[in-house]
Amino acid sequence: MKYLDEALRELAAKDKRWQVIINNCPALEYGPPDTPYIGLTSSIASQQLSTKVARVIWKRFEDLFGGRYPVPGEVLAMEDIRLRVIGFSNAKVQYIKNIARYFEENAHSRDSLLMMQDEEVLAELTAIKGVGEWTVQMLQIFDLHRPDIWPVKDLGVQQGFAGMYNLDLPVKELVIIMKEEAINWQPYRSAAALLLWKWKDIGFPGIDDVHTLNKKRKRKK
């Protein structure tokens, strides 16, 4: 993610709370991106599962195809029952096959999707039954490395944001505030999401300092 260094500098310059969070988080490091086909399928496979369980099921999935990731035609040819046995629900089996069918019929690659605007990618891929906004946003952040994606429906981002702002609100109210506040973080909202995920996962270190800065911001207003 080549934009990250610049994004972190910009966020820290705009808001001292980001500097505290950055100082208390390990470096954000990510491996090479998956192809869009694999990225979408893995997101569907891991939905509503813990990271540990998702990894187990993903390994079983690859083991069905000799320990490697299958091409779309192989997934379409696989019997549904064999996919259910390894841990996929009936719905996930169909969604995974829908993704395979889409990429069997459409020659989209990472490069071709990179030529599209964020909104175009979202509209194109959510047309696949079973692929929703969150799934595409994960692809945009982790595989397409888009810098300005703000996944307000993601639980981890919601929890990180609530921790940063010291909020305890119903989700609908929280999401409204998330959308409003994140306008200030453009064009690097993806970096904001990555930081909030990491910060939440490691237990919100420095949160007292962040909340102190919250109080100062309110007094200035």
CATH node for 4-30+150-220: 1.10.1670
**pLDDT band at residue 119 using 50, 70 and 90 as cut-offs:** very high
> Is there a contact between 31 and 38 (Cβ–Cβ < 8 Å)?
no
The domains of the chain are located at: 4-30+150-220, 36-142
| Token duo for residue 50 | 């813990």
CATH homologous superfamily of 36-142 equals: Hypothetical protein; domain 2 (1.10.340.30)
Q: What percent of the chain has pLDDT over 90?
A: 85
More confident position, 108 or 190 = 190
The DSSP annotation for 64-86 comes to TTTSSPPPHHHHHHS-HHHHHHT
pLDDT of 215 reads: 83
pLDDT of 176 reads: 97
pLDDT of 219 reads: 64
**Span 121-127, average pLDDT:** 96
Torsion of CA 115, 119, 125, 128, to 10 degrees: -150
Q: Return the minimum-mean-pLDDT range out of 35-49, 130-144, 196-210.
A: 35-49
**Amino acid found at 58:** W
Task: Output phi, psi for 146, to 5 deg.
Answer: -75, 135
Arithmetic mean of pLDDT over the chain:
93
Q: Please, what is the angle between helix 36-46 and helix 90-105, to 10°?
A: 170
**pLDDT band at residue 78 using 50, 70 and 90 as cut-offs:** very high
Q: Residue 150 above 80 pLDDT?
A: yes
Sequence-separated contacts (24+) of 89-93 with Cβ below 8 Å = 91/130, 92/44, 92/45, 92/47, 92/130
**CA-based nearest residue to 164, from 172, 174, 176, 151:** 174
pLDDT of 17 reads: 97
Distance CA 198, CA 42 (A): 20
Q: Residue 194 above 60 pLDDT?
A: yes
Q: Identify the DSSP state of 175.
A: H
pLDDT of 116 reads: 95
Neighbours of 220 (CB within 10 A): 6
pLDDT of 221 reads: 56
**Span 109-125, average pLDDT:** 93
Task: Output phi, psi for 3, to 5 deg.
Answer: -80, -10
pLDDT of 160 reads: 97
